[in-house]
Amino acid sequence: MAELELKTKTIKGLFWGGFNSGMKQVISALIGLVLLSKLAPGDYGLVGMLAIFTGIASTLQEGGFTSALANRKEFSHDDFNAVFWFNNIISIGMYVVLWFCAPLIAGFYDQPELLKISRVLFLAFVFNGVSLAFNAYLFRFLMVREKAAIEIIASLVAGVAAIILAIKGFGYWALVVNTVLMSFIASVLRIIIVPWHPSFKINFRPVWEMFGFSFKLVIASFVTQIQNNIFSVILGRAYTEREVGFYSQGNKWTVMGQTMISGTVNSVAQPIMARVAEEQERGLKVFRKFMRLTSCLVCPSMLGLAFIAPQLIQVINPEFMPSVPVMQLCSIGCIALSLSNMYSQMNIAHGRSDLNLLITVIGAVLQITMAFVVYKYGINAIALTIAVCNFVILAAWHFISGRFVGYTIPMLLKDVMPYAGLAMLVIIATFFATKFISNTLLLLCAKIVVAALLYIFALKVLDSAIYREARVFIKRHWRR
């Protein structure tokens, strides 16, 4: 692939990936605001107790085949067909197992409502399994615009349905229906839009060929799901559903922000890096560009979210104010999480799923050990522990994976610190510029607007390469 063509595909992919992630998170945020004002902390707590089961099942369902298909130098109809049928078998099998495990899950948490909730919520696995091969096709061929349309429509329709249910007093069922309906609509749209369709000529040989690569990704993702959700399990056993709800909401908003950024970059990062993996110097250059882009987005977003957290929660629902410290601490930790994600994408692009597995296990052992040490000190201590562990894990990603492509600490600091420092200066300036505002809603709006304008203005004055390229791309396509 020529340099110019690669650059064009990257910029277009980032634009549509960013549009997709941005719109999805805006929709989720708006819907979340309405739901938060209509639902009780206990509603979120009940659904949050199932996070570890949905996370692990989704990991096993995906099987790492999306990344494996993207990494294959040559591919055919049989590759996607094998993944389609294999994932359908796995998805249906998992749902059957989880259906019979539902009474055990409800008994574990001593929450009888979880029996029905889990059996309905887990239907999302079946719908996702049907369209996983189609989603892998979108990813492999960088069909980012089509992927954006599918996910935005699904989020919007499911969100509106959830709001209607919440207003009519259905409580936690609004959250359950939102998840299941989103999976169903997205699956239907993928089947309609993707120009590939399965056949009944089934040959599982491609699955076995990809298994060596994808299996390590599955194990790594499996461990990550346990690592990410171990606190929810502990909270569900040690605390009330209200406290689980406070933690769940505080963490939810930071995950939304981090997901938006990771979704923007991940939409093109691995496929693009895979195309230059055999050229070490060029590969390092591409990786550093993605690191700078991630830093440019994640530092102001996450530090900004921590900055506006008190006003945001106060405006939405004062009942959730105990979740503010959780949101602030998790926001800071998400900076490290986003940067770690780039190392992971680089490893996958170079076929080093073994490194992903090694580092993931190291991080999981650290975080799970700390979970059992600090859980008795409350949700704020848990959030602080997660944030600290994320930075320690980032160091592990760098020292193990960074050397693999010649990425040094000075390079890391040069790529990250300018954006982190600039974001901090912008937040400090915004604090003093808005401190005289007493109205909570007005203060929230002023903080967002002032900080955003200052950050963009600073990028322009400092002649940021990322700012220049984004401006040129937007101008060019706006004229069209």
How would you label 33-49 residue by residue, b for 16+ Cβ within 10 Å and e otherwise? Answer: ebbbebbbbbbbbbbbb
Query: Which of 341, 351, 345, 117 is closest to 228 using CA atoms?
Result: 341
Assign 395 to helix, strand or coil.
helix
Q: Evaluate whether 294 touches 426 at the Cβ level (below 8 Å).
A: no
Assign 221 to helix, strand or coil.
helix
Q: What is the mean pLDDT of each run of 10 residues along the chain (480 residues)?
A: 51 55 65 72 74 67 62 71 82 86 85 87 85 80 77 87 87 87 90 86 74 64 65 63 72 73 66 68 81 88 90 82 87 88 80 77 81 77 86 88 82 91 94 90 92 90 74 54
Query: Which of 13, 334, 250, 314 is closest to 146 using CA atoms?
Result: 13
Can you tell me the distance from the alpha carbon of 11 to that of 7, in angstroms, rounded to the nearest whole number? 6
Assign 110 to helix, strand or coil.
coil
DSSP track, 297-353: HHHHHHHHHHHHHHHHHHHH-GGGGGGHHHHHHHHHHHHHHHHHHHHHHHHHHTT-H
Burial class (CB in 10 A: 0-12, 13-18, 19+), 467: middle
Q: Evaluate whether 69 touches 136 at the Cβ level (below 8 Å).
A: yes
Can you tell me the distance from the alpha carbon of 247 to that of 308, in angstroms, rounded to the nearest whole number? 17
Can you tell me the distance from the alpha carbon of 290 to that of 273, in angstroms, rounded to the nearest whole number? 10
Burial class (CB in 10 A: 0-12, 13-18, 19+), 382: buried
Q: Evaluate whether 183 touches 135 at the Cβ level (below 8 Å).
A: no
90: its two tokens: 């796995």
Task: Note the pLDDT of residue 401.
Answer: 80
Query: How many CA atoms, within 13 angstroms, populate the side-chain half-sphere of residue 431?
Result: 11
Cβ count near 242 (within 10 Å) = 16
Task: Please tell me the total count of domains within the chain.
Answer: 1
Amino acid (one-letter) located at 291: M
204: its two tokens: 């599982």
Task: Note the pLDDT of residue 60.
Answer: 59
CA distance between the termini of the chain: 25
Alpha helices in 141-204 (DSSP H): 144-167, 173-193
Cβ count near 208 (within 10 Å) = 10
Can you tell me the distance from the alpha carbon of 442 to that of 464, in angstroms, rounded to the nearest whole number? 31
Can you tell me the distance from the alpha carbon of 70 to that of 87, in angstroms, rounded to the nearest whole number? 17
Assign 179 to helix, strand or coil.
helix
Q: Evaluate whether 251 touches 263 at the Cβ level (below 8 Å).
A: no
pTM for this predicted structure: 0.63
Burial class (CB in 10 A: 0-12, 13-18, 19+), 114: buried
70: its two tokens: 């993207």
For 357, the enclosing helix (H) or strand (E) is helix 353-374
Query: Which of 20, 220, 288, 287 is closest to 139 using CA atoms?
Result: 20
CA separation, residue 364 to residues 168, 323, 357, 369, 392 (Å): 41, 24, 10, 8, 11
Assign 68 to helix, strand or coil.
helix
Task: Note the pLDDT of residue 240.
Answer: 64
Range of the domain at 471: 3-479
Task: Note the pLDDT of residue 7.
Answer: 53
Q: What is the residue whose two structure tokens read 């986003």?
A: 338
Tell me the chain's radius of gyration from C-alpha atoms: 22
In eight-state DSSP terms, residue 405 is: T
Amino acid (one-letter) located at 130: V
